Amino acid sequence: MTFTQDCVSKRVYLDVCALSRPFDDQSQVRVQLESNAVALILEHVKETELELIVSTIHDIEINPISDLEERRQ
């Protein structure tokens, strides 16, 4: 079975902390691994293999982010 077959219609929720991980200091291996995991999950969302669940809490937590590029992504 492929990843796509296993994950059809599976939903995933990433909190703002996880979504912001790629913007954190990448000097620690753990942060790099977590950033890579988030990127992989988002790639599967882009390919419609996973569905990203978004809540109003995302908006509330993202709006105060001062870095416009980080907020946009």
In which band, very low, low, confident or very high, does the pLDDT at 70 lie, cut at 50, 70 and 90? low
What total of structural domains would you count in the chain? 1
**Structural domain that includes position 50:** 3-72
pTM for this prediction: 0.73
**Does residue 73 have a pLDDT over 80?**
no
The 3 state secondary structure assigned to the chain is CCHHHHHCCEEEECCHHHHHHHHCCCCCHHHHHHHHHHHHHHHHHHCCCEEEECCHHHHHHHCCCCCHHHHHC
Tens of pLDDT, residue by residue over 20-50, are: 899 899 999 999 999 999 999 999 999 999 9
**Does residue 61 have a pLDDT over 90?**
no
